Amino acid sequence: LALESQQAKVAEKVKQVTVNVQQGNSQGSGVIISEDGYVLTAAHVAGKPNLDATVVMSNGRRYRAKTLGMNRNVDAGLL
């Protein structure tokens, strides 16, 4: 029971920082990695720098974002 309780707490925290990222025809998940809103996602989702994107929170709130770049070698992108 203690393990289930701990898993529920972790799941709630993860839910708060996991987002949907939409950029052009690409979309995927991302994780908010800083208090000022940087989002880590896959390279193919972020694409080139300075593209418009939308970040959708688990509660449905939407935020405009800009892509900052990607590294295909590690499949990482930043918004």
Contact call for residues 52 and 68 (beta carbons, < 8 A): no
Long-range contacts, stretch 30-37, CB < 8 angstroms, 24+ apart: 30/55, 30/79, 37/63, 37/65
Q: What is the pLDDT of residues 26-61, one digit of tens each?
A: 889 999 999 999 999 999 999 999 999 999 999 999
Report residue 2's pLDDT band, with 50, 70 and 90 as the boundaries: confident
CA atoms within 13 A on the CB side of 71: 5
Q: Which residues pair with 29 in a beta bridge?
A: 20
Assessment of whether the complete model's pTM goes beyond 0.75: yes
